[in-house]
Each structure stands twice: as C-alpha cells, then as structure tokens.
Structure 1
Amino acid sequence: MQPTPEALDLLRPIGWPDGDAYREALAAAPGARLARVVGQHRSAYDVATRADEVIKVQPPLPWTRPRCPPEQRAAVGDWVTLDEAGKNILALLPRHALLKRGAAGEHHRQQLIAANVDHVLVVVGLDQDFNPRRIERYLVVIRASGADPVLVLTKADECEIVEDCIDLLMEVEESGVPIHAINAKDPASVAVLAPYLGPGQTVVLVGSSGAGKSTLTNTLLGREKMKTNAVRGNDSRGRHTTTFRVLTPLPQGGCLIDTPGMREVKLSGDEDIVDAFEDIEALGAGCRFRDCVHGNEPGCAVRAAIEDGTLDEARYLNYVKLRDEAEAAAVTQAARRAEEALALKNKHRRTKDKLGRR
C-alpha cells in the first residue's frame, strides 16, 4: 500500500518534491505511510505526515546499534515510510542533499545536520561574529552536501561598514554565492530571502550562537516561535537559544530547519575544497612547476599574487589549512569505513558458522 495522491498533496506544505525519482523511490520502499522527520530525540523521532500533524515514532532496530554509521540513520529533513499503525519507521528514502560535519571530539565520526535541503543559509552577524575565514570553512562543508550556500549577514542596521565587510568577501561572491545584508528583525529587509523559501523548498540555518538565527526564524514565521537571547558585548557571542534541530513549515510555502549554534565546524572527510577556492586553484595552474608547493620555487604564480596584493595571504593560509585538514579527515574516514566493513563481514561469518553448526 502506497500513499494516495490526496495524501501526497498534504505533504507538499512540508516539502514533498514529487519528482519522478522520488516517486520511484517511494514505490520501491516498504511502508503504508510517508512522513518527514521534523525532530530527533535520543531514542525516537518526531515525524510529520502533514503540516499540522506530528507524531513520535520508533527507529528500526539497526539504527539503535552503536556501530550503525550515522549516515544510515535518519536526520531532520529526511523522508521515511512508516508501518500501517504509524508507530515505526520502516525505510529511509534516498536523499538529494545531506549536510554534515565531523563530530566534536577525537572519535572521527560524522554528525548529520540536515537532509534534503535546497539552500543552506549561513547566518553571520556584522559584529565580532564576522570572520571571513570561518565563512570559507562553512562553504567547504556546504558544497559537499549537495545543497547551495547563501550568505546572510545580519545586524546590518547596527553596522556602519557593511559594504567594507562585503568587499572582504569578494572571492566568495565571485564564486557564485549570493550575499544578503539584512536586519533580521525587519520583515521588509528579510523579504530579500523570499526566492529561497517558496513551495517545495527547504532551507537550513547554520551559524554561531548569537548570529541571529532565532531572530531570523521568528521574522520569517511572523511570530515568536524561537526564544532569543542577547549576546555578550565583549565578544558578540550568544548562548544556545536553539538546542535541537527542528523543521518548521513557513508562511511563504517552504520549510525551514533551525540548528543550534556551531562553535566548531570540523570537516567530515567527504569535502573537496576546490570549489571554495577556485581562484587559488586557478593561480596554482599557472605555476612554472607542476609540483609547486607555493614556497620559494621560481615562477610560483601563487606567491606572486600574494606579493602584488591580488591574493589575500590570510585566505591562502586558510586554503592550506583546510586542504590539509580535508586530506587528513578523508584518510581517517576511509579507515573507519574499512573497519566497519570488516566488522560487518566478521558478523556475517559468525552468523554463517552458527547456522552451519545447527
């Protein structure tokens, strides 16, 4: 039994895209009901079967096991099928985008942030929160997700050097990332984000605590849904006013996922930094030697660009840092996946041995 056309109509306000690929995936998935994950708890999920109906359901048993890879579990924004009673998740539908980062700590696992998002709105305050190097890090992570980044600079009404700040992001803008400076409290100012919020679209907000994500969410919703806190004056940091990820339908027709503030954005191991630093990659192609490491080699186009001021040295150093981090994370990620594959192989072997002894 599959959802009826009438049931699918009820899912469009929470982002059901209704494309051919989704219809085929749904036809192949077991389950009587289709739902979207709107909240996640330690041992259960909140799912919506329509805009005004949210129910708590249980995950499949494999998801609860410690060795289950995080990317095989559902995240906020995922589409799932449920059993006929609507109490258990049966299957996870394929994703068209998955935003993730390296989990905090040293255990080298991935943390899922949001699934099936079309745009990631990077919310950055035009105060001490403004940091071009951290913005570059966000863009590396987002471009690996399959979603499109959008940079939203908040507190424009409190900043006297808005254009100067945007000038510092010239390479970001030239790479095709839209940049919007807004007053998150003003609906007229926030209206510039309307193209990303229409029916069938899903956006996720990411950024530091105190950047204005909750304020922006309230303005987009037209009501005070998210609690907001003042930031500290000495460093412009705020406390986590959003403590969990939640998907909310918007009056504009799309859906929004708000996330807790991120103090650390670790690479997961699946990133390719080339797209975020196309200008440096292009310069490197002009070096005299193919294996140039941009040190003291003669004919180095990158060093020449730094010396004549056409390339910001801080941007280049951040490129090197992220490149090395991405390579190290990729090696660690490959080792972890090999270890998981070996554990699964050994498990199947033990199961086969037990069956053979019966």
Structure 2
Amino acid sequence: MSSSSSSSSLLSPYGWDADWEDAFAPYAAEGLVPGRVVRVDRGLCDLVTPEGLVRADTEFVVPRDPMKVVCTGDWAAVDPEGHDPRYVRTLLPRRTAFLRSTSSKRSEAQVLAANVDHALIAVSLGLDLDLGRVERFIALAWGSGAQPVLVLTKADLVPDPATLGHLVADAEESAPGVQVLAVSAETGEGLDVLGAVLAGGTSVLLGQSGAGKSTLANALRGQDGTSAQAVQATRDRDGKGRHTTTTRDLLPMPGERGGGVLIDTPGLRGVGLWDAEEGLGQAFSEIEALAGECRFHDCAHETEPGCAVLAAIEDGSLPERRLDSYRKLLRENQRLAARTDARLRSEQKQLFKQRSALGRHMMERKRGGGRHSGW
C-alpha cells in the first residue's frame, strides 16, 4: 500500500479527503507526514497520523498573528517517525475557523476550532432561554463558515409538550435558517436526528458551562458519564454547571451514527464578536431583507419615512426585540473593528519607526566606515 493510500484509509474517519491530500502533496515530497490536531496543551499538541496518535512540538508555527496558532481541528505537516523531538512544521490552509474576540485590550481574536462543518450551539432548557446570547452565537457560527445547529439540551426538564413547542418556536424565530433540535442525553430524545445531521463531518460543540455539552458529547458517542468526557452535577441554586471540559478535544464518533468527529470545548463565559459583519447579516437575514425595501438605502431604521423594518415592527411581523439585538451586536462589531484598525495602525507605525531607526543606524555606520578608510 502506498503512503498516500495509507494516509487516506487511516485518516479518512477524521475528515481527510482528496482536497486535503492535494494540499499536503508538497510536504509529502519533503518526507513529512499528515496529521490532524486532536488537542493542544502548552506548546505541544496531540495529532492523529497514519502512524497513530503522536505528540509534537508547535515551536515552528508560533506566529505573530494569534489567529494562526495551532488549534484543535487543524491539519498539519509533522516530522516523520524517528525525529526526537517531533515538530509540527506547518499548518494546511483552514477551510473554516470559529473565532471570538479575546478579553485582551489588544483587540485580538482567539480560534476555538478549525476546519469545522457544523457548529453546535448548546443551550440548556434548564434555564430561561437567553435569545440574545443565542443570536450572538449564531452570528459567530455563520461567520466561521460552518453551518450552525441550535441544540436545546435537557429537554427532559420540560415535560409539557406544549411548553417545549413554544420554546423551540422562540428559538427558531431567533435563528432563521438554522435547524433547531430539542434533545435529552438522559432519555435519548432527539439524539438520532442530531447524529444523522452530524454524520461523517466535523462538528464543534459550543455553549456556556452547565449547558450539558460533555454529557451530550458522551451520549452522541454512545458512552456514559464515566467516559473520557467527565461530567459534573449542575448546581441546584442557579442551574449552572462547573467547567468539566478544560481543553478542546477532537473525539471520534461511532460508525453506527455515521462516523465523523466532534470537538468538545470548555464552557464559554464570554463570546465577543470578531469580524462578524457577514455573520450578523445571516443571523438577522429577515432584517437585512426588509432593509432592502426601505425608501432610503442608508436607512437607520429609526424615524425615517418609508422604513420597511419599522413597518414590520408595527404590523407585528418582526419582534422589536430582534431589531434591538441586531443594533446592539452591530454597534459592538463596529467598535471592535475600530479598535482593531487602531491597533494595526499603531503596530505599523511602530514597525516604520523601527525600520527608520535601523536605516539611520546603517547610514551612520557607512559614513563612519568611509571616514576611517580615508585616514
């Protein structure tokens, strides 16, 4: 069996395909081996390769741009067996990346998962639905290039079918174009449908602590609470859980559910927007469509005559809460874009100063050298 066919057969359950093989061809010619990052931990990462699971150092791919650091879900070119230590030499270009802004004042982005087909937004039905948070997650998911799926977990805590139906309807209204599924890891409700949606691809599981992500991950993988993804009880007083997942882990899905892989992530306290204009447009697609019917192309949807958005609010076809949420997220995204531009301008100015200082230093050395040679 050739090394190429060996890679395909062993890595295909993790998403390896002909396009990845073509992208990797130049590195194969250098004797490197392909691998998918299943976990990153303090400058080291675990990768699944044709040789099995290996650990490699990421020293050679530590860029200035935080969006290009090694992340769970990345495909990489790794030193072959026999190298000690082994290094990740480069990353293959990402197809998708789920990004959020960090809490840093530098206005930088953090990559939560790479090369993802589905972004599962887990929201617990054990608490009141926070539709604003749902919309924020959905916008980030659309912006990542992945297909969002809204998963309402702990459906067993809502025994009344009518109440559950209303909650699903509210969620669907806040996530146009997104499949909404009510599931229960306890009873198995909805798991077969969700498993069929995810079959064969790469999915990332996102949400707050206490949303039941690890329990759901175990259930989808056909495992119980004592399996690889530890589960801790939810606090009674506020329905919130503890951080049971502390790293982003790529987990294989069972073949009977169609295969594929699932990236489980730690609970997210904050999900700041990052370059989310396109994602917001998709998350609030009905508002974008209405805006196209306004009399003025630059309508702010406040007091302008002929505003189709305000008319929809008046006739009840558009909830005012949706417009308020849209405006809030747009303002946040615009503020972040302004800070990011300011940071980039500052870095470019600093780089220019450094280059100018180096240029002056070199000129002074040349002048000094010329005088010395004439003595």
- Whole-Å separation in 2 of the counterparts to 1:238 and 1:298: 48
The letter of the residue matching 1:221 is: R
Task: State the partner residue of 2:206.
Answer: 206
Judged with a 3 Å threshold, the aligned counterparts in structure 2 of structure 1 residues 353 and 31 are, in CA distance, closer, same or farther, namely farther
Match of 1:324 among 328, 331, 334: 331
2:262 corresponds to: 256
Superposed counterparts of 1:255-334, under 5 Å: 255-272=261-278, 273-334=280-341
TM-score, length-normalised on structure 1?
Answer: 0.89
Find the counterpart in structure 1 of residue 53 from structure 2.
54
Residues in 2 aligned to 1:250 and 1:141: alpha-carbon distance in whole angstroms: 25
CA-based RMSD: 2.6
Q: How far has the Cα of 1:350 moved from its partner?
A: 7.8
Partner of 2:231: 228
- 1:204 deviation in Å? 0.5
**Would the aligned equivalents of 1:171 and 1:279 in 2 still touch at CA under 8 Å?**
no
1:98-113 equivalences under 5 Å are: 98-113=97-112
Larger Rg: 2
Deviates more, 1:68-77 or 1:125-134: 125-134
What TM-score do you get using the length of structure 2 for normalisation? Answer: 0.85
Structural mapping, 1:18-29, within 5 Å: 18-20=17-19, 22-29=20-27
Indicate which of 73, 76, 96 corresponds to 1:77. 73
Structure 1 residues 129 and 98: alpha-carbon distance in aligned structure 2, compared to 1, 3 A threshold:
farther
The whole-number CA distance in structure 2 between the counterparts of 1:285 and 1:128 is 36
- Cα distance in structure 1, aligned partners of 2:194 and 2:362: 59
1:149 is matched with which residue?
Answer: 148
Q: Distance in 1 between matches of 2:137 and 2:253?
A: 24
| Shift in alpha-carbon separation, 1:265–1:197, aligned structure 2, 3 A | same
**Which residue in 1 is equivalent to 2:178?**
177
Q: Secondary structure at the match of 1:295?
A: coil
Instruction: Report the Cα distance in structure 2 between the residues aligned to 1:328 and 1:90, rounded to whole angstroms.
Output: 36
Alpha-carbon distance between aligned partners in 1 of 2:362 and 2:7, rounded to the nearest angstrom: 44
* Structure 2 match to 1:10: 10
Structure 1 window deviating more from structure 2 (344-353 vs 27-36): it is 344-353
Instruction: Tell me the distance in 1 between the aligned counterparts of 2:302 and 2:149.
Output: 34
State whether residues 3 and 32 of structure 1, in contact with CA within 8 Å, keep that contact through their aligned partners in structure 2. Answer: no
Aligned amino acid, residue 213 of structure 2: K
How many angstroms does 1:314 deviate by? 1.2
Q: C-alpha distance in 2, partners of 1:221/1:354?
A: 62
Cα distance in 1 for residues equivalent to 2:350 and 2:54:
35
Instruction: Give % identity.
Output: 39
Q: What is the DSSP-based 3-state SS (H/G/I as helix, E as strand, rest coil) of the residue aligned with 2:284?
A: helix
Note if contact 1:157-1:183 (Cα within 8 Å) is conserved in structure 2.
yes
**C-alpha spacing 1:61/1:133, structure 2 compared with 1 (3 Å):** same
Asked whether the equivalents of residues 122 and 149 of structure 1 are also in contact (C-alpha less than 8 Å), the reply is: yes
- 1:314-356 Cα offsets, whole Å, 9 max, x none, are 1110000011111222222333344455666777788899999
Instruction: Flag the 1:352–1:57 CA change in 2: closer, same or farther, 3 A.
Output: farther
Compute the displacement of 1:139 (Å): 0.9
Deviation at 1:162, TM superposition (A): 1.0
Structure 2 CA distance for partners of 1:192 and 1:240, relative to 1, 3 Å: same
- Check the 8 A contact 1:226/1:242 in 2, yes or no: yes
Q: CA 1:317–1:98 in 2, change beyond 3 Å: closer, same or farther? A: same
Taking the aligned partners of 1:347 and 1:96, their CA distance within structure 2 comes to 35
Q: Which whole-Å CA distance do the structure 1 matches of 2:91 and 2:356 have between them?
A: 27
1:135 alignment counterpart: 134
In structure 2, relative to structure 1, the CA distance for the partners of 1:261 and 1:27 (3 Å cut) is same
Separation in 2 of the partners of 1:327 and 1:277? 16
Q: Contact 2:61–2:90 (CA<8 Å) still a contact in 1?
A: no
> Following the alignment from structure 1 to structure 2, what is the Cα–Cα distance between the partners of residues 251 and 352?
60
Range that drifts further, 301-310 or 343-352: 343-352
Work out whether residues 31 and 81 of structure 1, in 8 Å CA contact, stay in contact via their aligned partners in 2: no
What number of residue pairs does the alignment pair up? 349
Structure 1 residue 239: Cα displacement: 1.1
Aligned CA distance change for structure 1 residues 339 and 93 (closer, same or farther; 3 Å) = farther
The whole-number CA distance in structure 2 between the counterparts of 1:123 and 1:182 is 10
| Preserved contact between residue 101 and residue 112 of structure 1 (Cα < 8 Å) | yes
Contact in 2 for aligned 1:129/1:237 (Cα 8 Å): no
Provide, for residues 36-79 of structure 1, a one-character-per-residue CA deviation record: whole Å limited to 9, x for no partner. 111111221121215x932221113450x6xx111222110000
